[in-house]
Amino acid sequence: MKDEDEQRMPEENGSCVLGDQLHKGMTVRGVFELWLAAVRKEVNAASYANYERIVRRHILPCLGEAVVDYLTVADIRDFLDERLRSGRMDGKGGLSRKTVADISRVLNAGLKLVNWDPDLSHGGRVFVKSMHPKRDTDTLTDRQVAALTEYLTENLDRSNAGFLLCLYTGIKLSEICALRDSDFLLEEDRLQVRRTLQRVTMRQSYGDPDGTEGRQDTVAYDPGDSGYRDLALATGLSMLLWTLLRCGNGTAYFLTGTDDQPLGPRTYQYRFQSMLSSCGLPQTVNFHMLRHTFALMWMSSGGELGVLSRALGHGSVKTTQARYEGLLQTVEPIAPDHAKLICPSTVR
């Protein structure tokens, strides 16, 4: 359900809770039609596609015609248990606990719209939680940061410059793949993040069961989205980028230098893994560690958590705090020789 950090569930539906008279007699199908319309304005396209798919594939076929007023705790429990036992679409057994936890979260969020016994979500009596352990926030060491930076700057091309950007700005993999040359305002030491590259399946019409599905690759951020942001670039990093972009036409994708299809996130991850041996780093290093290492370097330098949160494109400071609050206590701070490249402050 999650994309790197932040495919998120809308925090509350308090602004669109239906009064008792408005939802009287309403079915689960009717509730989730309203809920999907509401959250579509609050989350990115990939998150919405996940929620819509969960509702269409799992919730509506089993609970869609149930009247909310008569929906019981036993109904919810039986539904989730059935998903665990035999919920696969191909009929070959049950869904993973992680997947059922995702279904449970969507069901919980949608039913809040009608204030359906909201205390159940806190008591642990019905809604399923994932058994997956919390992922470790692995980072590069000081020595690894120095070795990686030295190799990338000495062998600078568009691909290696992208790795540098991820390390020293915290930009996401899906965002670096969607960048165009025109997003760099190097005279102002500034980078505009305006879109993300995601492979999502969207129904043309939620109410049309026969609606065809299409693939949407580049998803533009709305101006109100936390992903829509400007990042300040250190002058040293801007100068490195200028050597690559000075002969470009402005409309090309940054990683490829062409106007054609962008480089896919998976392909770029493969390039990263291939590059590791060239600079003496182990294959246990993964791409997302660049983002975590950026956060560690920023906090090690005494930067504010709120500024870091905006730079990472998180929806709230709470997300950043939950992810990184214990990092300095468990990992040795990083103060690399190349610290002049670090400039994570957000312009807007």
**What 8-state DSSP symbol labels residue 133?**
P
Look at residue 135 and tell me if it is in a domain.
no
160 with 280, same domain: the answer is yes
Query: Residue 8: what pLDDT?
Result: 53
Q: Are residues 50 and 169 in the same domain?
A: no
- What's the pLDDT score for residue 336? 59
With a threshold of 0.75, does the pTM exceed it?
no
Same domain, 176 and 284: yes
Q: What CATH number corresponds to the domain at position 104?
A: 1.10.150.130
CATH number of the domain enclosing 311: 1.10.443.10
pLDDT attached to residue 15: 42
Residue 9 lies in a domain: no
Q: How far apart are CA 82 and CA 212, in angstroms?
A: 29
Same domain, 146 and 119: no
Residue 48 pLDDT: 84
Same domain, 84 and 168: no
Name the average pLDDT for the chain.
81
User: Is residue 291 one of the residues assigned to a domain?
Assistant: yes
**Co-location of 175 and 29 in the same domain:** no
| Domain match, 305 and 240 both | yes
Q: Which of 28-32, 136-140, 197-201, 341-345 has the highest mean pLDDT?
A: 28-32
Q: Which residue intervals of 125-282 are DSSP H helices? A: 142-154, 158-169, 173-178, 235-245, 265-276
Radius of gyration of the chain (CA): 23
Point out the domain boundary residue: 123, 156, 189: 123
Q: Between 188 and 20, name the one with better pLDDT.
A: 188
Q: What is the pLDDT of residues 289-301, one digit of tens each?
A: 999 999 999 888 8
342-346 mean pLDDT: 57
pLDDT band at 14 (very low <50, low <70, confident <90, very high): very low
Residue span of the structural domain in which 75 resides: 14-123
31-37 mean pLDDT: 92
288 vs 347, higher pLDDT? 288
**Does 309 lie in the same domain as 250?**
yes
- Structural domain ending residue among the three candidates 90, 123, 156: 123
Does residue 107 sit in the same domain as residue 186?
no
Boundary (domain end) residue, out of 67, 93, 123: 123
User: Is residue 2 assigned to a domain?
Assistant: no
Number of independent structural domains in the chain: 2
Q: Is residue 347 part of a domain?
A: no
Residues 171 and 290 placed together within one structural domain of the fold: yes
**Domain match, 179 and 327 both:** yes
Query: Residue 111: which H helix or E strand, with range?
Result: helix 97-111
Please tell me which of 115-129, 188-202, 329-343 the model is most confident about, judged by mean pLDDT.
188-202
Position 250 scores a pLDDT of: 81
Q: Mean of the pLDDT values across residues 30-37?
A: 92
Fill in the amino acid letter for 14: G
pLDDT score of 230? 95
Share of the chain above pLDDT 90, in %: 41
Closest CA to 66 of 126, 21, 23: 23
Q: Say whether pLDDT at 33 is over 60.
A: yes
Residue whose C-alpha is closest to residue 314's, from 226, 255, 244: 226
Give the tens place of pLDDT for each residue, 216-254: 477 888 888 888 999 999 988 999 999 999 877 788 999
Least confident of 64-68, 158-162, 164-168: 64-68
Q: How many CB atoms are located within 10 Å of the residue 294 CB? A: 26
Please report whether residue 7 resides in a domain.
no
Half-sphere exposure of residue 49, counting CA atoms within 13 Å on the CB side? Answer: 18
Average pLDDT over residues 314-327: 86
Judgement on whether residues 276 and 325 belong to the same structural domain of the protein? yes
Q: Give the residue with greater pLDDT, 130 vs 40.
A: 40
For residue 199, pLDDT beyond 80: no
Both tokens of 231, joined, read 């990042």
Give yes or no for residue 1 having a pLDDT over 50.
no
Q: Is 244 within a domain?
A: yes
CA distances from 211 to 50, 186, 202, 203 (A): 17, 44, 10, 6
Higher model confidence: residue 336 or residue 189? Answer: 189
Q: What is the mean pLDDT of residues 78-96?
A: 88
Asked if residue 42 is part of any domain, the answer here is yes
pLDDT of residue 253: 94
Residue 124 pLDDT: 40
- 121, pLDDT greater than 60: no
**Does residue 175 carry a pLDDT above 90?**
yes
* Percent share of the chain, pLDDT over 70: 78
